[in-house]
Amino acid sequence: MARFARFGGVSDTNQPEWVQTLGGYTVVALLLATAWVGALVWGDAWSTRLIGHGWAEYERLALIAFRLFGGIAILSLLLRIDFARGFLGVALPVGLVGLMINRRVWRAIAARERSVGRYLTNVLVVGDPRSARDMMQAFGRDPQAGYRIVGMYLPGNQENSGEYGDLGVPVFLGRSPIGEVITDCGADTVAVAAVEQLGSQGIRELAWELLPLGVQLVIMPGIADVADQRTQLRPIGNLPLVHIDQPNFDQATTFGKIAFDWIFAALCLLIVAPVMLVIALAIKFDGGPVFYRAERIGLHGKPFKMIKFRTMVTGADRMKVELAAENEGAGPLFKMRNDPRITRVGRFLRRYSLDELPQFLNVLRGEMSVVGPRPPLAEEVERYDVGLQRKLLVRPGVTGLWQVSGRSDLPWAEAVRLDMYYVENWSMVADLIIIARTISAVSAADGAY
């Protein structure tokens, strides 16, 4: 494609001599493609530790591409090789985007297959029941990763494996050789969640046992909800130490984020203005006011009026007491799948989160961000402990991790955990990813009612 974009369908008569010797830029394009594949192999772009796991996979592809083309540019300059810069200028973005689209397509295929139980990684957890439950919950939050726990191994002399039948997986005692256990449960990965029980020597010996079996070994470090950018492995005296940077809450209130929020909200309002006009007319035709203003708690605990399109009948708040027995929401939130207070127009708006479009006005007023934690109720904030008070150090968001992870179906404790994860691990790249995932979540209309 780069060859035709730069030179068209005919040969360029002004090709450098070395290009003519090779047979033209068509041959050069084939050589570049071969070198690119070689760079991907050299850069371990097909590592099972990366494929299908988060944003790191795409970062690795971009890093390899820029290194390859940067190396070509430097060699061309040092050796004074005449090279068509337009050719490289087209090949780099087109090739990189093509690779990322290819990975995205295969991710979708893998996720679909894993949802029906295919291509899963069978994991044997070495630890105690509590660590096994924690790992099961983690795998459940990310089913596309494809991990399935098939057994738990109790190291040492722990007894009474029958007490752990609620785990739903076989439990093996430490007296059984782990090699036999792996064969019995069909595990191809061993996850150690009992580092303190095995010790460094025990983990080393376990790695030696797994080597001839071709089984991978992973270790749960005992830290949770810490993003990659805050961790760094620094070996000191052959002792691997994981350094964790302190969360910097000020980063989520920087001028760059504020400017991005304002520009993004202004553009969105400009683009969806005709849609909002149609929605306003539909609500007005149905009877009652167009907007609903609800008090929420914002930055530093300051209350503000969050603006939404009205989706319920007039006086819906007063009807909440009558429907309290049918509340399906967790925590202080009131939720019902078949809430009789929701209007016909409102049900459609809620399904696709169109009722939240006016919140971009709150963003322009500096009360909310495009991405952030959920806007909390006053009674919710009253229940916050010292740790949860940190949520108020950033502005609430129109969307967030809670929006792309289940919406109304999300348990209360999980929603709080996601909010805290966002607050402590904020980054601009993460905001962009959440915005992209929001579009997908809203289009699917999952968990919205």
Alpha-carbon distance of 113 to 272, in angstroms, equals 36
CA 358 to chain centre: 26
Length of the chain: 449
- Burial category of 65 from C-beta neighbours within 10 Å (exposed 0-12, middle 13-18, buried 19 and up): buried
The highest-confidence range among 99-103, 180-184, 298-302, by mean pLDDT, is 298-302
Cα–chain-centroid distance for residue 243? 22
- Both tokens of 178, joined, read 């782990």
- Residues 121-222, CATH architecture: 3-Layer(aba) Sandwich (3.40)
CA–CA gap between residue 355 and residue 353 (Å, rounded): 5
Residues with Cβ < 8 Å from 135, sequence gap 6 or more?
Answer: 123, 125, 149, 191, 193, 220
The better pLDDT of the pair 285, 247 is held by 285
Q: Please, which pLDDT band fits residue 172 given cuts at 50, 70 and 90?
A: confident
Around 447, how many Cα atoms within 13 Å sit in the side-chain half-sphere?
Answer: 15
Give the DSSP H or E segment for 76. helix 56-78
- DSSP tag of 117: T
**What is the Cα gyration radius of the chain?**
27
Asked if residue 26 has pLDDT above 70, the reply is: no
Q: What is the 3-state secondary structure (H, E, C) of 179-222?
A: HHHHHHHCCCEEEECCHHHHHHHHHHHHHHHHHHHCCEEEECCC
What average pLDDT does this structure show over 117-132? 81
Classify residue 103 as exposed, middle or buried by CB count within 10 Å of its CB (0-12, 13-18, 19+).
middle
Largest interatomic CA distance in the chain: 85
In 25-55, which residue ranges form alpha helices assigned H by DSSP?
Answer: 25-42
**Alpha carbon distance 272, 349 (integer Å):** 14
Residue 119, number of CB atoms within 10 A of its CB: 12
- Residues 355-403: pLDDT tens digits? 999 999 999 999 999 999 989 888 888 888 877 888 888 899 999 988 8
| Phi, psi dihedrals of residue 191, rounded to the nearest 5° | -110, 115
For 50, the token pair is 């990366």
What is the number of helices (H) and of strands (E) in the chain? 15, 11
2-11, 124-133, 290-299: range with highest mean pLDDT: 290-299
Residue 406: predicted pLDDT: 65
User: Residue 260's closest CA among 432, 434, 436, 400?
Assistant: 432
Quickly state the pLDDT bin for 18 (edges 50, 70, 90).
very low
Question: What are the sequence ranges of the domains in the chain?
Answer: 2-115, 121-222, 250-444
Smallest CA-to-CA distance from 308 within 362, 260, 258 is with: 362
Q: Are strands 303-309 and 291-297 parallel, antiparallel or unpaired?
A: antiparallel
Q: What is the pLDDT of residue 276?
A: 95
CA neighbours within 13 Å on the CB side: how many for 374? 25
Measured between alpha carbons, how far is 240 from 236 in angstroms, rounded to an integer? 6
**Whether residue 137 has pLDDT greater than 50:** yes
Phi, psi (deg, nearest 5) at residue 373: -70, 165
Return the closest-CA partner of residue 392 out of 296, 322, 264, 272: 296
Asked if 391 and 423 touch (Cβ cutoff 8 Å), the reply is yes
DSSP letter, residue 331: T
For 286, the token pair is 């149905």
The secondary element (H helix, E strand) that includes residue 147 is: strand 147-154
Residues 407 and 446 sit within 8 Å (Cβ to Cβ):
yes
Please write the tens of the pLDDT for every residue from 278-292. 999 999 888 778 999
User: Which range has the top average pLDDT, 86-90, 172-176, 421-425?
Assistant: 421-425
The pTM for the full model equals 0.67
Task: Say whether 439 sits in a helix, a strand or coil.
Answer: helix
Q: Count the neighbouring beta carbons within 10 Å of the beta carbon of residue 230.
A: 16
